[in-house]
Structure 1
Amino acid sequence: MKRLAYVVALIGGLLVIALIAHTGYRAVLSALTIGGWSLLWLVPYHLCPVGLDALGWRVLVARRDPQGRARLGVLTWIALVREAVSRLLPVASVGGEIAGIRLLILRGMDGAAATASVVVEVLISLLSQYLFTAIGVALLIMLTQSSETTTEVLIGIALTCPAPIIALLLLDNAGIFQRLERFAERVLGGRSRLAQLLSGGATLDQEIERLIAQRWRLTKATFWQLAGMVSGSFEVWFALRLLGHPVSVEAAVILESVTLTIRHLAFLVPAGLGVQEAGLMVFGQMLGLSNDAALALSLIKRGREIVMGVPILLSWQVYETRHIKARRDAET
């Protein structure tokens, strides 16, 4: 699987280089130069959408965390770790979720409860993403007023329908996780170390059933996730303004929804290399955005991910090292 991730990442990287070469690297560099150091403001601002997302996660975690081990600040940091792992490491998009589960367990949460919160949060994110995409599509239709564009986009959004439908079915039928757990045990030849971690007084299936039975928690979590996605549109609006290509708020929402949707659909491509750039160029042209500006916007997003993600990954390693050291000291 790692080899496949490396190969896909290489192909994506080559596609990015090809797009920049085709557009003209001088034009892209010129656009980035216009933005200047002010673009660094996007790094601290990113805490806003991540924090809103963490608020939704906290709603799901709070039921099984009366001691407050996973407070909002902690969950925000873990959310940043999840994002950094998924976008900077060649692990596809599921590696971040596994890291998030591990960090919750290290914070003292029950393994099944921690896993259930992440599983349900991922399912809710599918629904939130679909809602955000629908908003972006509606705005695109309104701004372009092109029947051809409308048909193409509606076909595209129709193709993504299975994702939210599957999410709804899973939320209505948590018993499927029990069958998956039993299947995993048979494949692994008994209860593995992972299965043992997930059995902290209740099965994963039971934890998910209890969590999804509280629909008001799901509604609140969905609201905060959707709010985080909408707030992320400011990053697009602000970056393009600094680049000298100002767009309307509606256009910024469209471009952000396109970026998130493409990265979700291309989850097998590490960091969405190549597909994010191509998508921004295609939809940017519909909104009157030049190719060099669209590529510059994508590179700014990637630059922010690196500037913010590398220190977060280092902090994660420091945390893991301290935990290992503390455990060894306790054993001796």
Structure 2
Amino acid sequence: MKRLQWAGLPIGIAILIGLVLHEGVGGLIQIIGQAGFALLWLVPFHALPLLLDAYAWHLLLGKRASLIFLWWVATVREAVSRLLPAAGIGGEIVGIRLAAWRVNDLSGVSASVVVEVMVTMAVQYVYSALGLVLIVAATHQAGVVRTIGMALLLSLPLPVIAVVLIRRGGVFYAIERWAGRLLRSTDSLLSAVDGRQLDADIDALLSRSGLLLRAFLWQLSGYLLGALETYWALALLGHPVSLSGALAIEGLTQAVRHAAFFVPAGVGVQDAAVVLLAQLFGVDRDVALSLALVKRMREVLFGCAALLSWQGGEVLRRLGGPSSVIKGRV
């Protein structure tokens, strides 16, 4: 996986550089400059969708850690997944480690993250499907929609198979045994979690349909709220679109980014998708690329702040113990 990601990175960077050079750096700077420092408000705004996402995790974790703490962990999880050249699950691993600072149940924390990821996959497909419906209704661009829709259908079997395997149980116990034989050591990371207990905790969560529905709705609300970033940014850049248009652009951009998981941070791929989709709603190409760059800058600024806070938390924990890091119960 890492080899595939490292191979995809230069391709993505080349796409992004090509887009910028084609439109001209000067024109892009002028468009973004006209919007001014108001664009910086998009950075703290991103914390609001993450709050709704963190509340879904808060529910799955049985409210055993404060919502504020999990909100902070959610920002770190996202930053690790999007900015660091790690495997796609890197953010989830870090999230489990940080949540264990407050919840003395590594298996329960791991189960909550695994189930949350499964809920997220369902939310992403629903969100992307909604984007497809809206873009068909607004633009009637059958060719583009057909291509994106086919990519979604082709990628659907993977999460379905993963959900079926996990639902049957025994998956993590089998992984634990396999890793033990492969590594010939009880000191592996997997040895910290009992495979049988993790399978049981996951199965217990998956059997609570009401809880899963609530987590799904909170996460979906976060995704819908996140579309306001595109709506607001385009308004600031001087080319406003409708709320449904912003939702369609954001939803299908997310779909393209997740389909191109082999490109770290979706560099180039996400930006090209934003340009293409925004143009379908009448946005000029240079403004569409400016939107892509603004979204990328927001991601970098917000993510870097989250990563710095994580390292600060690690330092405080080493110096003063767990009580020195974000705490409280909700």
With normalisation by structure 2, the TM-score equals 0.90
Structure 2 letter corresponding to 1:255: I
Structure 2 CA distance, aligned partners of 1:162 and 1:156?
A: 11
Distance verdict in 2 for CA 1:2–1:25, change over 3 Å:
same
Q: Deviations over 1:195-226 (max 9, x none)?
A: 332139x6211111111111111111111111
Structure 1 CA distance, aligned partners of 2:16 and 2:95?
A: 29
Alignment of 1:194 with 2:189, yes or no, is: yes
Structure 1 CA distance, aligned partners of 2:169 and 2:194?
A: 16
Structure 2 CA distance, aligned partners of 1:157 and 1:268?
A: 15
Structure 2 CA distance, aligned partners of 1:316 and 1:278?
A: 31
Structure 1 segment 51-90 matched on structure 2, within 5 A: 51-62=51-62, 65=64, 70-90=65-85
Structure 1 segment 103-252 matched on structure 2, within 5 A: 103-170=98-165, 172-199=167-194, 203-252=197-246
Secondary structure, in 3 states, of the residue corresponding to 1:90?
Answer: coil
Structure 2 CA distance, aligned partners of 1:203 and 1:156?
A: 36
Secondary structure, in 3 states, of the residue corresponding to 2:61?
Answer: helix
Alignment of 1:302 with 2:296, yes or no, is: yes
Structure 1 segment 319-330 matched on structure 2, within 5 A: 319-326=313-320
Structure 2 regions of 5+ residues with no counterpart? 322-330
Could you tell me which residue of structure 1 aligns to residue 325 of structure 2?
none
Distance verdict in 2 for CA 1:146–1:85, change over 3 Å:
closer
Q: Which moved more, 1:305-314 or 1:129-138?
A: 305-314
Structure 2 CA distance, aligned partners of 1:127 and 1:180?
A: 24
Q: Deviations over 1:239-282 (max 9, x none)?
A: 00000111111110011112211221222222110100111122
**8 Å contact kept, 2:75–2:306:** yes
Could you tell me which residue of structure 2 aligns to residue 312 of structure 1?
306
**8 Å contact kept, 1:56–1:224:** yes
**8 Å contact kept, 1:116–1:207:** yes
Q: Deviations over 1:106-161 (max 9, x none)?
A: 22431111111111111111000000001000001111124444433432332232
Secondary structure, in 3 states, of the residue corresponding to 1:106?
Answer: coil
Secondary structure, in 3 states, of the residue corresponding to 2:262?
Answer: coil
**8 Å contact kept, 2:53–2:222:** yes
**8 Å contact kept, 2:127–2:223:** yes
Give the deviation of 1:55 after TM superposition.
Answer: 0.7
Could you tell me which residue of structure 1 aligns to residue 248 of structure 2?
254
Structure 1 CA distance, aligned partners of 2:170 and 2:252?
A: 33
Structure 2 CA distance, aligned partners of 1:48 and 1:229?
A: 10
**8 Å contact kept, 2:136–2:145:** yes
Structure 1 regions of 5+ residues with no counterpart? 328-332
Distance verdict in 2 for CA 1:174–1:295, change over 3 Å:
farther
Structure 1 CA distance, aligned partners of 2:94 and 2:211?
A: 23
Structure 2 letter corresponding to 1:107: R
Secondary structure, in 3 states, of the residue corresponding to 2:234?
Answer: helix
Residue-pair matches, total: 322
**8 Å contact kept, 1:171–1:212:** no
Distance verdict in 2 for CA 1:299–1:192, change over 3 Å:
same
Q: Deviations over 1:155-181 (max 9, x none)?
A: 233223224423542453233232223
Alignment of 1:292 with 2:310, yes or no, is: no
Could you tell me which residue of structure 2 aligns to residue 43 of structure 1?
43
Q: Which moved more, 1:108-117 or 1:231-240?
A: 108-117
What is the identity percentage for the equivalent residue pairs of Structure 1 and Structure 2? 41
Distance verdict in 2 for CA 1:252–1:170, change over 3 Å:
farther
With normalisation by structure 1, the TM-score equals 0.90
Q: Deviations over 1:38-96 (max 9, x none)?
A: 11111121111000000111110016x2xxxx211011100000111111211142211
Secondary structure, in 3 states, of the residue corresponding to 2:194?
Answer: coil
**8 Å contact kept, 1:110–1:198:** no
Q: Which of 89, 94, 98 is matched with 1:94 structurally?
A: 89
Structure 2 letter corresponding to 1:42: L
Q: Which moved more, 1:142-151 or 1:38-47?
A: 142-151
Give the deviation of 1:105 after TM superposition.
Answer: 1.5
Q: Deviations over 1:305-332 (max 9, x none)?
A: 22222222111112112323356xxxxx
Structure 1 CA distance, aligned partners of 2:243 and 2:101?
A: 41
Could you tell me which residue of structure 2 aligns to residue 330 of structure 1?
none
Structure 2 CA distance, aligned partners of 1:118 and 1:124?
A: 10
Structure 2 CA distance, aligned partners of 1:159 and 1:242?
A: 36
